[in-house]
A and B are shown apart, each in its own frame.
Chain A
C-alpha cells in the first residue's frame, strides 16, 4: 500500500512536469515591461482606431513623400491608355539587370517562368494554368501595358504594387521587355 502511494506521487510529479511543457504556449517572460513595446508595434491591435488595428491606410487624397501617384485608371480604358503612351522613366544606363532579374525571379518567375515563356513552377505543377508567354502576339505587351498590369493586376493576376517600389517595378518592366526580346529571337 505504501509503495502504491509512493508510485502515484512520483507519477503525478512526472505528469505535472510534462503538462507544463506545452509548445503551443509562449514561455514566461522576465519583466514583461521591458519585453513589450510601449509604442505601437507593426500589426498591433489598438483601440485608438475604429477598426481596432494599429496599421492604417493613408488618408484619402494624401500623398506620401517621395511617392508619385499613378494617373491611369484600373479599367480597360486605363490599360489601353497606358499601353499607348506610358513610357519608362529609366533609361538603358539605369537598368540594373542583376537586381531586376532577382526581383523578377522572386515575384514573377513562379508563374511566368524564369524565361518568361509562361512555364513557371506553379504552371508546371498545374496549380495555375493559362499563363501566357511574353511573346504572345494577341497581347503584344509593351512597357506601358506591363507596368499597368503590374500595378493593378489583370484577370487572374493580382496587383503587385505593394510588393515592389515604383523604381523596382520599372526595373522589372525593363527585364520583362528583355525576356520578351529574347523569346522573339
Chain B
C-alpha cells in the first residue's frame, strides 16, 4: 500500500501522466472511493473523481482517445451523457464495453456493433484490470468541462520578444550615440580650425598655401613605385581569379528554402531522434534517403500541433509557424486530421537536394556509416542545431582525400579486414591503417 501511495505521488509530480501500476492504483482508488462514500454526502455514489480519472485516462486510454478530437477511437468528451441521450446507454454498458469490448460485440449489442463497424473493425483493447470504480473515475474525467484554452504563454512569449526588442533598441541607441559623438567631434574640429584662422588673421600672419604637386602626379613620376604597384595588382588579381575559379561548383553554405519547413533542431536536437530513424537507407544503400511522408506520419499522426512554447519560440526566433507546416504535411500526404483517415489525394513534396556530389564521383553512405562507423555530423556538421540545414563541408575532392589520409580504419571486430590488415600493416610498418593506406586514394575507387 505504501508503494502505491509513492507511485501516485510520483505520478502527480509528472502531471499525472504515467500510471503503470494499474492494480496498485486501483487499490488506492477503492480506498479513496470508500473514503468519499463515508465522508461526503453531497457526492453521488456513482460519480468518480475526475482527478484520479485523468491519471487513469492518461495511462490507459490516451493512446487511442483524445477528449476533443477523433483519434484511433472516437472523441470522449461527455461520452456518457451523449450516449445516454442518443442511444439510451447506461453505465453498465460502459463497464461491459471497457472491460471486454469484443465480448459485447459478440453478444450482438446494437451500438457496440455499430461503433465497431464505424471504425472499420478496429477493436478496442480489453481492460479487464480496470474496476467499476476506475471506470467511474475515468467517466467523471471525460464529463469535465473543457478548460478554456490556456492563454498563450504570455510570460515566455512577451519575455522573448521584449528581450529581442530591448537588444535591438540598445544596439540602435549605442549606434545613435556614437553617431552624435562623431558629429560633435567633426563640428568641434571645424570650429577649432576656424578660430585658429581667425587668430592668424587678427595677428596678421599670412597663411602660405604652398602649391604642392598632387599626390597622384608624384606617384606617376616615380617609376619604381609604379613597377611595384603593377606587380602587386597582378598578384592580387591572380589571387582573386584563382579563388573564384576554385569555388566554382563548391556549394559550402548552400541553404535553400524547403517547400515544407522541417526543423532538424527540434527533431534531432531537442527530441533526440536518431538520424537513421528518418534516413534509414543510409544504413543499407548508397543514398541517405529522404524519408517518404509516411515516416513523418509515424509521429505526426498523433502530434498534430506543437507545444505552445515551441510554437511561440518558432514565431519569435525563426518566423516559422510550425503548426501551419504540420498542416502542409497533412495536405501533401493526404491526411484528413478531422476524420483521421487518408483521403488518397497526395502530392509529392519537391524537397531541394542540398548535398550533391557531381555525377563523376561515387559516394556510398552505407560504407561510411555502417562499415566506417562515421558519425553523420563528421561530414554534415552540427545538423541537430540547424533550424534550416546548410551544407557544412565543401565536398571537394581535397576534402575527401584529407579525411581518407587522416582516418584510421576500424578493423576491430571486422573479420573482413583481419587478413588484409595484417599484410598491409607489415607493408607500411604501422599499427593503425588509414583509409588511404587501404587504397582509399585510388582513382578508380570513386571515379569510374
List residues of A whose CB falls within 8 A of some B CB: 23-30, 34-38, 42-43, 45, 51-53, 75-76, 105-107, 110, 117-119, 121-123, 125-133, 137-139, 153, 155-160, 162-165
Contacts and interface: CB of A to CB of B under 8 A. Distances in A.
Contact of B129 (A37, A45, A138): A138
Contact of A37 (B257, B307, B359): B359
B254 A26 contact: yes
B127 A138 contact: yes
B251 to A, nearest CB: 5
Interface of B: 15, 17-18, 20, 58-64, 71-72, 120-123, 125-129, 247-251, 253-257, 270-274, 276-277, 280, 284, 287, 289-290, 292, 294-295, 297-299, 301-303, 307, 348, 350-351, 353, 356, 358-360, 390
B447 to A, nearest CB: 11
A170 to B, nearest CB: 16
Contact of B274 (A23, A34, A110): A110
Given A24-B256, A34-B360, A130 B61 contact: yes
Contact of B303 (A43, A128, A139): A128
Contacts of A128: 299, 302-303
A137 B390 contact: no
Q: Interface majority SS on B: helix, strand, loop or mixed?
A: loop
Contacts of B290: 43
B20 A117 contact: yes
A159 B63 CA distance: 16
10 contacts: A29-B249, A43-B353, A106-B276, A121-B271, A122-B273, A129-B58, A130-B58, A130-B59, A131-B63, A156-B71
A159 B129 contact: no
A35 B358 contact: yes
B302 A156 contact: yes
Contacts, number: 136
Contact of B249 (A28, A37, A131, A164): A28
Contacts of A163: 277, 280, 295
Contacts of A107: 274, 277, 280
B277 A110 contact: yes
B108 to A, nearest CB: 18
Contacts of A51: 348
B360 A127 contact: no
Nearest to B270: A125
A53 B249 contact: no
A158 B298 contact: yes
Nearest to A39: B359
B248 A126 contact: no
A155 B277 contact: no
A76 B122 contact: yes
Given A128-B299, A129-B58, A133-B20, A34 B273 contact: no
Contacts of A125: 270-271
Contacts of B62: 129-130
A35 B274 contact: no
Nearest to B73: A155
* Interchain residue pairs A-B with the least CB separation, the first 9: A130-B63, A158-B298, A130-B62, A35-B358, A37-B359, A155-B72, A106-B274, A23-B255, A163-B280
